[in-house]
Amino acid sequence: MHTTTRSFAAALAASLIATLACSSAGAQTSPAPAPAMSVAPATPAQSPSGITAETLAGAQQNPNDWLTYGRDLGAQRFSPLTQIDTKNVKRLTVAWNKTLGPPISMEGTPIVANGVMYLTTGTSAVFAVDAKTGATKWSYKYPLPRTSYPRACCNINNRGVTLTGDEVVIGTLDAHLVALDANTGKVRWNVTVADNAKAYSITSPPLPVKDLVITGVGGGEYPTRGFIAAYNAATGKLVWKRYTIPGPGEPGYDTWKIPNTAQRGGGPTWLPGTYDTARDVVYWGTGNPNPDFDSEGTQGDLFYTSGLLALDPSSGNIKWFYQFTPHNIWDYDGVNEPMLVDVPVGGNTVAAIAHADRNGYLYLLNRDTGKLIYAVPFLDKVTWAKVDRTTGKIALDPAIQAAAKARKPYLVSPSIIGGKNWEPTAYDPAKHILFIPALESSMGIIPDKKSNPNPKVGAFNFGGGFDRPTFAGSFSAWDLTTGKMLWKQRFRSPAFGGALATAGGVVFVGQMEGELDAFDEMTGKKLWSAKTPSGITAPPMTYSVDGRQYVSVEVGIGGVFPNFFIASTPWLKSVKPASMVYTYALPVR
């Protein structure tokens, strides 16, 4: 397979439209930053009933519901439910399933509160259903313009909703935030976050923080300038906006060594951040500089791309920044969830962040300072660089650097899809074990013969193409107290759906070939597997209603693999698309 930038862009646009028609560092601390753009003062939260800030802060102590994208504001994706355990998980059976519309990519996490499940489809539709039966309570079809399909890289997609007060808030493919009445589905407010004509998009739910909903944006494969923005949850008014690419005169601007390249964009923020309620700090990952593969056209460390920002949620001001991949020329976004964990390290419990990056390394950072605790590779093969475990110092591969500088093709691992793409990790806080669904991959990069100093607004700007991709998958368990791997399961397809950990000792993960698997969290032994009508590229979740525990997962393969990498994963060609949710439970005696 040989894909150039132009053919990739054309193929992507055509494929996305056709799909729907058939149915999408070294440790580096920033200087004192300039303040975020302040737009309107925050107002007190107005949620006399429903989901309050206190409700969300105590989500981990609520065993029955799944209230946020990562279950809790620290994104641990751990459930304290124990009804399903290592001994009885083999008896799981389908409790109910539901078709949500035409076949499309499904990557959402269902949200459950008070017996109601809220789901989305790739086209930004929202469903509220009975969590016991799947019966529809209401549905909302967002009027998504077809012009937004080819501007979404790299899928027509949506990953779920946010609950706040008595509202359901969704980010849309054409870069809007829409708040719906949680009881009726009627629109409360609708705001434009960014200009979709410039290829901005939103594919993930916002982060609820006190009286705010905070969102990121996609668009890193285009000359867009990434940002994080906070809106008043009750009114939809913009409160602050923090750009991830500094402007002239702002701290970090001098890390872009070529004049005006910072204005060409990058730093997308397309996955949700996390929130430490005790410290009142938001943590948010940032993506690649643009163009993706141009070594000479963008020079310097390129703040604030490919790293992690710690922000004041009231103002958007930066507290610290850690960069995973300086001068990133491999599309290694740093947007993956910054999971909040309290880990015993060296005899002391450390308030930390666990982050499995697209560059193939697992990082544990001090969440007060951003200082590295350790970095270890979680893939079988990483070639772009070696990262020192304790200092974070990066030793780049000299052959890869020479080829990139000479604009000659070269092979790199992991591929541009990353060692871990968007699919979330899960964590058992009692045993301090992190579970990582991953892509074991490599890819040939073909840099363009020269830089493009004037990229077209709204058009792809990769700075090169790629060929010879190879893909497989793995699912591994890591002891965060030591940074050592406990076990690893290997698959022929990438693990692209995310993980769920439970107090019953069972960890779940979906497969692109169409099955939901359960493993013993201590040994990695497969305990159960269920076949589904399509591939799973969504994270499973669990909840309880009337004393019965359920495990639910969205079903529907889509995105970059069936569209572009069938030559590398030909067995996925036979997996049929769908737009469904499957829910499992133990048989009722």
Active site residues: 331
> Which run of H or E residues covers position 55?
helix 53-57
C-alpha 415: how far from its chain's center? 17
Alpha-carbon gap, residue 248 to 256, rounded angstroms: 10
The answer to whether residues 168 and 179 touch, using CB atoms and an 8 Å cutoff, is: yes
| Closest to 524 (Cα-Cα) out of 479, 566, 487, 572 | 487
Sole residue written with tokens 């789901």 = 119
CA distance from start to end of the chain: 53
C-alpha 497: how far from its chain's center? 10
| Closest to 551 (Cα-Cα) out of 60, 45, 41, 77 | 77
Alpha-carbon gap, residue 41 to 215, rounded angstroms: 17
Length of the chain: 589
Please, where are the H alpha helices in 349-438?
Answer: 398-405
- Strand stretches in 255-297, DSSP E: 274-276, 281-285
Residues 6 or more apart whose CB falls under 8 angstroms from that of 261 comprise 297, 298, 299
Pairing assessment for the beta strands 499-502 and 78-79 based on DSSP bridges: parallel
CB atoms within 10 A of CB 453: 10
